[in-house]
Structure 1
Amino acid sequence: MDYRKLRMSNDFNSSVIAEFRANQGRVGGMFEGGRLLLLTTTGARSGRPHTVPLGYLPDQGRVLVIGSNGGARRHPAWLHNVLAHPVVQVEDGPFVYEAAATVLSGPERDVVFARAVESDSGWADYERRSGRELPVVALEAVPVAGPPRAAGDAPSSPAAVLRLVHGAFRRELALIRAEVQRSGAVLGAQLRVNCLTLCANLHGHHVKEDQGLFPMLESAYPESAAALDRLRAEHGTVAVLLERLRSVLGEPGLAREELLGLVDVLTGELVAHLDHEERVLDGVL
């Protein structure tokens, strides 16, 4: 084993992890503008926690990570840990959650890996250099009651958590817009999945607000009813845009310009809504 390379790799990972946690998931350098999470596994032999930064792919209800190990011939250590202890911890931006890790196989693995290669040919380069089939692991959050759990020293008051959730949506919109701009004439399958995942997450967030948060606030603060009704109306406007986005994503001949225009409209409407909602709810929460 080349201990010098191992030490350099550990030092690099430690610096990325520190920057990630200090900036609520934002990292510069080679990771700037990309999707990055921290995966904490339990050592297969030691039983100790091990944390690594990994790029990921959205996949509607779960996220996917790939065991490239930089194109090395051996699988990464975190994969061996996952096989021994499939319950892991994921830090996704400012939030942390427990997840069940599943190593995909057969046609399912091949389909999602092909999507990954279509969006970034580097995955194919890693697989070719490694001489092995790169494992694809799905991470699916274990359901828990209550609001998202903030990572580390992130604020945990309802208003602060709401702002963190909104910030995550703003960032995802910016990432998708940049991905659409970089895309070619034919939109890739992974980009479509990224958009559909955003649609599903936004819809779920607004349903939780409409059915849970807003009725609770109306009961505790009757004077807020009119403002909350306006927020519900804005949710309706966003829902129409999300449905339009879902619809056009199913069109095989969808042009990049059409998708970019729709993403721009959605971004404008949604960011204005998030800003307004924060102003209305900040004092109440």
Structure 2
Amino acid sequence: MLLELTTIGARSGATRTVTVAYAEIDGRLLVFASNAGRPQAPAWLHNLRANPLVRVELDGRRYDAIAEEIVGAERDRLYGVQAERDAAFATYQQNTSRVIAVVALTPARVGAATAQLREIHNGLREQLSATLAAVDAYLAGSAPAPHAKTLHQHCLSFCSALHAHHSREDGVFPQLAANFPELKPALDRLSQEHAAVAELNQQLTTTIEQLTDSTPPEAELLRAHLTHLAETLETHYTYEEAHLGPALDAA
């Protein structure tokens, strides 16, 4: 049986989604870092050790979970149960000298701060998706006239909303760092990412200003900028929701 597991890169901070085997034993959802018995553990294990908040997609449901590595005699018992169910896991352990990790995935309780961040981020995601759809319609020749004006409205509206959100956060980050010193590394990273996103936003604005109905190459460039921004923001959103939201919820 398989599920999709999304972790946050220990170094990159980018999201990584992999398909892994799972089992339900004693009411717990477990995954096994077998990597088919190879000498190295799979990268997702290193990621969740650094960032235990993960995302699980199983049977059409997607939810956040806390990853907890099971150790000692309990690990041995659970892995033994899995090896009895599927002989391949016994072979995996025989083929490697490392102890194959067993990880329990427990649904996470999302607090008010994390929920609010996600609501804001989801709104920005929807705006960006609508903007990309407008660019695609323009490039396909199916956008409502006037084409360029429609794109201007979509893009400038999104850029303005994103800038306002990050400006508000930049205004409160110094006080958060003062109140919660343990958050300073995460806040420093988020501030640096805000600066990088602001540069991308400026590139978008410049491209939009050059766009007319007779300049389709600028529309292609605009789409490239939007796609790059979407990828950058997804990593940013995920990191913020995993590090800032839970810390504020706990506080």
Asked if TM exceeds 0.5, the reply is no
For CA contacts below 8 A with separation 6 or more, give which structure has more relative contact order: 2
TM-score (norm 2): 0.43
The two structures have a TM-score, normalised by structure 1, of 0.38
Indicate the structure (1 or 2) with the bigger Cα radius of gyration.
2
